[in-house]
Structure 1
Amino acid sequence: MEEPRLTTRRTDRRRVPRHVLAVLPFAVAGLISLLLSGNTLRPLEHITTIEARMASKSDYFRDPEVQRLLLRHGIRVDIHRLGSRGIATQSLRGMDVVFPSGQPAAKLVLDRQERSVRSVRPFVSPLVLGTFRDYAETLVEAGVATPQPAPGGTLYYDLDMVRFTRLLDGVDDPRSPKDGTGRTADTWNGIGYDDISRDGRSNSGRVLVRTSNVCESNAAGTYLSLLAFVANGNRTPGTRAGGDTRLAADAVQRLAAEIKPLIDLQGMWADEQAESYFSDLGESIAPISLIYEHQYLAHQIAHHDRHGEQDTSRVLLYPTPYALTEPQLISLTGKGDRLVQVIQEDEDLRRRAIELGFRVRFSGADGTSDQLNAYLAEHAIQVPRENSDRTKVYEPDLEILEDIIDLVGDCPPPVRDTP
Structure 2
Amino acid sequence: MSRTGTPAIEEPRLTTRRVRRRRTPRHVVLAVPVALAGLISLLVSGNTLRPFDRITTLEARMASKSDFFRDPEVRRLLLAHGLRVDIHRLGSRGIATQSLAGTDVVFPSGQPAAKLILDRQDHSVRSVRPFVTPLVLGTFRDYAETLVRAGVATRQPAPDGTPTLYYDLDMPAFMGLLDGTDHGRPTADQDHDGRTEGADTWNGIGYDTTGGHSNSGRVLVRTSSVCESNAAGTYLSLLAFVAGGNATPGTEDAGDPGAARAEVRALAARIRPLISLQGMWADDQADSYLSDLGESIAPLSLLYEHQYLAHQIAHRKRYGSEDTARVLLYPTPYALTEPQLISLTDDGDRLVSVLEKDEELRERAIELGFRVRFSGEEGTSARLNAYLRGHGVQVPVQNADRTKSYEPDLGVLEQLITSIGTCPPPDGDAP
TM-score, reference length from structure 1: 0.92
Residues 127 and 290 in structure 1, CA contact (< 8 A), matched pair in contact too: yes
Match of 1:355 among 367, 372, 375: 367
Match of 2:337 among 325, 329, 333: 325
Amino acid at match of 1:189: N
C-alpha deviation, 1:320, in angstroms: 0.2
Amino acid at match of 1:119: S
CA 365–162 in structure 1, closer or farther in 2 if over 3 Å, else same: closer
Distance 2:381 2:157 in 1: 19
Match of 1:187 among 201, 205, 215: 201
Q: Which residue of 2 aligns with 1:222?
A: 234
Q: Which residue of 1 aligns with 2:191?
A: none
CA 121–245 in structure 1, closer or farther in 2 if over 3 Å, else same: farther
Q: Which residue of 2 aligns with 1:291?
A: 303
C-alpha deviation, 1:5, in angstroms: 1.7
Amino acid at match of 1:50: L
Secondary structure at the counterpart of residue 369 of structure 1: helix
Amino acid at match of 1:161: M
Amino acid at match of 1:100: P
CA 358–180 in structure 1, closer or farther in 2 if over 3 Å, else same: farther
C-alpha deviation, 1:116, in angstroms: 1.0
Name which of structure 1's ranges 318-327 and 33-42 shifts more when overlaid on structure 2: 33-42
C-alpha deviation, 1:95, in angstroms: 0.3
Match of 1:24 among 16, 32, 37: 32
| Unmatched segments (≥5 aa) in structure 2 | 1-9, 188-195
Match of 1:69 among 67, 73, 77: 77
Distance 2:202 2:318 in 1: 33
C-alpha deviation, 1:416, in angstroms: 2.8
Q: CA-to-partner distance for each residue in 1:317-361, whole Å, 9 max, x for gaps?
A: 000000000000000010001100000000000000000000011
Amino acid at match of 1:388: A
Q: CA-to-partner distance for each residue in 1:185-234, whole Å, 9 max, x for gaps?
A: 5100000000001xx21000000000000000000000000000011011
C-alpha deviation, 1:22, in angstroms: 3.5
Counterpart mapping for 1:217-256 below 5 A: 217-240=229-252, 244=255, 246=257, 248-256=260-268
Residues 209 and 266 in structure 1, CA contact (< 8 A), matched pair in contact too: no
Name which of structure 1's ranges 274-283 and 29-38 shifts more when overlaid on structure 2: 29-38
Query: Is the counterpart of residue 400 in structure 1 residue 416 in structure 2?
Result: no
Amino acid at match of 1:94: G
C-alpha deviation, 1:170, in angstroms: 2.3
Query: Is the counterpart of residue 115 in structure 1 residue 115 in structure 2?
Result: no
Q: Which residue of 2 aligns with 1:160?
A: 170
CA 29–168 in structure 1, closer or farther in 2 if over 3 Å, else same: farther
C-alpha deviation, 1:82, in angstroms: 0.3
Name which of structure 1's ranges 182-191 and 107-116 shifts more when overlaid on structure 2: 182-191
CA 137–248 in structure 1, closer or farther in 2 if over 3 Å, else same: same
Distance 1:294 1:337 in 2: 26
Q: Which residue of 2 aligns with 1:55?
A: 63
CA 16–269 in structure 1, closer or farther in 2 if over 3 Å, else same: closer
CA 311–33 in structure 1, closer or farther in 2 if over 3 Å, else same: farther
Query: Is the counterpart of residue 202 in structure 1 residue 210 in structure 2?
Result: no
| Unmatched segments (≥5 aa) in structure 1 | none
Name which of structure 1's ranges 363-372 and 82-91 shifts more when overlaid on structure 2: 363-372
Name which of structure 1's ranges 23-32 and 302-311 shifts more when overlaid on structure 2: 23-32
Distance 1:309 1:383 in 2: 14
Identity %: 71
Q: Which residue of 2 aligns with 1:88?
A: 96
Residues 211 and 270 in structure 1, CA contact (< 8 A), matched pair in contact too: no
Distance 1:204 1:255 in 2: 29
Match of 2:278 among 243, 264, 267: 267
Distance 2:342 2:310 in 1: 24
Amino acid at match of 1:328: Q
Secondary structure at the counterpart of residue 177 of structure 2: helix
Amino acid at match of 1:310: E
Residues 70 and 76 in structure 1, CA contact (< 8 A), matched pair in contact too: yes
RMSD between aligned residues:
2.1
Query: Is the counterpart of residue 412 in structure 1 residue 412 in structure 2?
Result: no
C-alpha deviation, 1:42, in angstroms: 2.3
Distance 2:287 2:182 in 1: 33
CA 172–38 in structure 1, closer or farther in 2 if over 3 Å, else same: farther
Counterpart mapping for 1:126-137 below 5 A: 126-137=134-145
Residues 180 and 186 in structure 1, CA contact (< 8 A), matched pair in contact too: no
Amino acid at match of 1:3: R
Amino acid at match of 2:312: Q
CA 362–285 in structure 1, closer or farther in 2 if over 3 Å, else same: same
Residues 121 and 327 in structure 1, CA contact (< 8 A), matched pair in contact too: yes
Query: Is the counterpart of residue 139 in structure 1 residue 153 in structure 2?
Result: no
C-alpha deviation, 1:26, in angstroms: 4.3
Q: Which residue of 1 aligns with 2:3?
A: none
C-alpha deviation, 1:132, in angstroms: 0.1
Amino acid at match of 1:325: T
Amino acid at match of 2:175: T
CA 367–258 in structure 1, closer or farther in 2 if over 3 Å, else same: farther
Residues 179 and 185 in structure 1, CA contact (< 8 A), matched pair in contact too: no
Distance 2:68 2:60 in 1: 13
Distance 1:179 1:88 in 2: 44
Q: How many residues are matched? A: 409
C-alpha deviation, 1:115, in angstroms: 1.3
Q: CA-to-partner distance for each residue in 1:128-149, whole Å, 9 max, x for gaps?
A: 0000000000000000000001
Query: Is the counterpart of residue 308 in structure 1 residue 316 in structure 2?
Result: no
Q: Which residue of 2 aligns with 1:6?
A: 16
Distance 2:327 2:246 in 1: 26
C-alpha deviation, 1:169, in angstroms: 1.5
CA 185–282 in structure 1, closer or farther in 2 if over 3 Å, else same: same
Max radius of gyration: which structure? Answer: 2
TM-score, reference length from structure 2: 0.90
